[in-house]
Structure 1
Amino acid sequence: MLDTKYKCHVIIGMFGSGKTEIALNSALYLKEKYENVAIADIDVISPYFRTRDEIDILEKRGIKVITPPRQFIHADLPIIPPAVGGYITNPEYQTIIDAGGNEDGATVVGSLKNFLDQAKTATYFVVNTKRPFMNTVDDIIYYIERLSAKTRRRVDYLISNTNLQNETTEDIILKGEKLLYEVSLNTGIPISFTVVPESLKNIKTQFPKFILKRFLDKVYQL
C-alpha cells in the first residue's frame, strides 16, 4: 500500500514492471480513504499500457484523471498536461504520478521537480524480477540508481511485483520477494509491499500484501 503520510506518489520502473496496474489499483485504494484523489498520466513513452486507457473506470469512482487533451489522448506525443503541477501541489488531493518506463519515462518525472519539491512526495520503484535486466541484485540496483538520477529524486520505497501474468505462482512471487529483499538490504530502501493477484490472495508473503485487480489485458504490463 502507498504510504499515506505523503500526498504525492510517483511510480517508476522499467518496461513491463507493472507500474500502470499498480497506479490504477492504488488510486482505487486511496479513494477508499480520501475524498479527493487524482492520477496523472505522464507516460509519453509507451502506446500500449497507459492510465488514459482506463479513464471511465476511474472517473466513475470519483477519481480525477489528468491526461493530455482528448484530441491527443491516444497520440504518442510528449504532452504533459499543464494541470499536473497543480494537482501535485494541491493540498486537498492525494495524487499519483503514473510515469513511463525506463530512463525516458524517468526523465519526464525529472521535468516536474519544481512541483514535486513543493509537495510531500514519495517515489516508488516497481520491480518484476521476471523481466529482462531485473533478475540479479546488481542489475536491479544499477537501474534504481539510473532512474533515480533521471527523476532527480531518491527512491523511497521498492515494490515487489514479480509475476508472469496468468502463469504467476506462489513460488514465483516468493522468489521475487527474496531477491528484492537482498536489494533492500544492500540499498537501505524499504519494501513497501508485495503485489499479489486476486487468484493468489491467500498466500503468505514476507511483506504486506497488495491484492491486485487486473485492468490491462496485455502480455506484459507497463
Structure 2
Amino acid sequence: MLNDMKRITLFTGNLGSGKTELAINYALWLKKQYARVGIVDLDIINPYFRTRLMREELEKKDLRVVCPPGELAGADVPALPPSILGVLEDERVQGVFDVGGDEIGATALGRFKPYLPYGSYNMFFVANACRPFTRTVDGIIKMLRAVEKASRLQVSALVSNTNLGSATDPETILAGHSIIEDAARQLGLPIAFLAVHSPLAREMAGRMPGIPVFPIEKNMLPPWAVGSGLF
C-alpha cells in the first residue's frame, strides 16, 4: 500500500509494536516527496517512546511536529487543538499520526472521527509477533478489533514489524511475518509493507519478493540505552 497513499496516515498498535518508530520513519520518507509533512503525537500510553521526545530533531528536518497540550485522558478531550485540526483540514499537508498503543490510546483518536471520513485515510495496525498480546493470530485479531471499536475507525492494512530490537535476525522476521500473514488473511486485509531495520532490508527483500520492504532507521532509544551502544 505504499503505492496507495492517502493524505492522512494513522499508525496504531499495541505497546511495543514499534509504531512510533514507524511513524517517524514514514513521515521522513514522505518529506522526500512532499513539501509539507506534519507528524501528530497522540500517544498517551508510553512515556518512553513518544514522538514529542524527538520534536527538536524532527523540526530540524523540516517536519511539523504537533503535540497535544497537556495530558489527554482517553476520550475526555474538551477541545480539538487547532494545530491538530490544521493537519487534518489543510489539503496541502501530508499528516502522519502516532496513536497510543491498544484500545485505550485509540480512544483519543476516536475524538477526531468527524474529520476522518471513510476513504480519506489509511489506518495501519502495526503487528510485532514478538510482543505478548500479538504473538498469535487470535491475539492480533483481538487487539485490532479493540482498536477499531475504540477509535470508531477501520484498519486499512497491517504492517508486519516483528522484531526483537538489536537481537532481530531474518528467521525471527520470517516466523513473525507468517503469523501476521495468517491474521491478515482471516481479517480480509492486506499487509501494507514489511518494516525492517535498514541493515537487514536488502536481505529480506530478496527472501520475500512478494511484499514491499520498508527500511527503517533507529531514532527512538529508551533513556537507559542512550550512549550505551546497545542499539
1:117 Cα deviation from its structure 2 partner: 2.0
180-189 or 198-207, larger mean C-alpha shift: 198-207
Aligned residues of 1:8 and 1:119 also touching (Cα < 8 A): no
| Partner SS state of residue 130, structure 1 | coil
Matched, 1:195 2:195: yes
* Cα deviation code 1:16-64 (max 9, x no counterpart): 0001000000000000111110001111222111000111221111111
Q: 1-side partners of 2:54 and 2:90: how far apart? A: 23
Alignment correspondent of 1:212: 216
Matched, 1:52 2:52: yes
Matched, 1:93 2:97: no
Q: TM-score, normalised by structure 1?
A: 0.90
Aligned residues of 2:124 and 2:157 also touching (Cα < 8 A): yes
Q: What aligned pairs does 1:173-188 form with structure 2 within 5 A after superposition?
A: 173-188=173-188
Q: TM-score, normalised by structure 2?
A: 0.87
AA of the residue aligned to 2:212: P
Q: 1-side partners of 2:36 and 2:185: how far apart? A: 35
* Cα deviation code 1:134-170 (max 9, x no counterpart): 1111111111111111111111010000000000000
Q: What aligned pairs does 1:50-129 form with structure 2 within 5 A after superposition?
A: 50-69=50-69, 72=70, 76-78=71-73, 81-117=81-117, 120-129=120-129
Q: Which of 1 and 2 has higher RCO (CA within 8 Å, sep 6+)?
A: 1
Q: 2-side partners of 1:58 and 1:122: how far apart? A: 22
Gaps of 5+ in 1: none
1:2 Cα deviation from its structure 2 partner: 4.4
Q: 1-side partners of 2:165 and 2:43: how far apart? A: 21
How many pairs align? Answer: 215
Gaps of 5+ in 2: 226-231
* Cα deviation code 1:66-106 (max 9, x no counterpart): 1135xx5xxx5547643112211210011001111111111
| Partner SS state of residue 123, structure 2 | strand
Q: 2-side partners of 1:98 and 1:115: how far apart? A: 16
Identical pairs, percent: 37
Aligned residues of 1:196 and 1:210 also touching (Cα < 8 A): yes
- RMSD across aligned positions (CA): 2.0
Matched, 1:27 2:27: yes
| Partner SS state of residue 88, structure 1 | helix
Aligned residues of 2:99 and 2:109 also touching (Cα < 8 A): yes
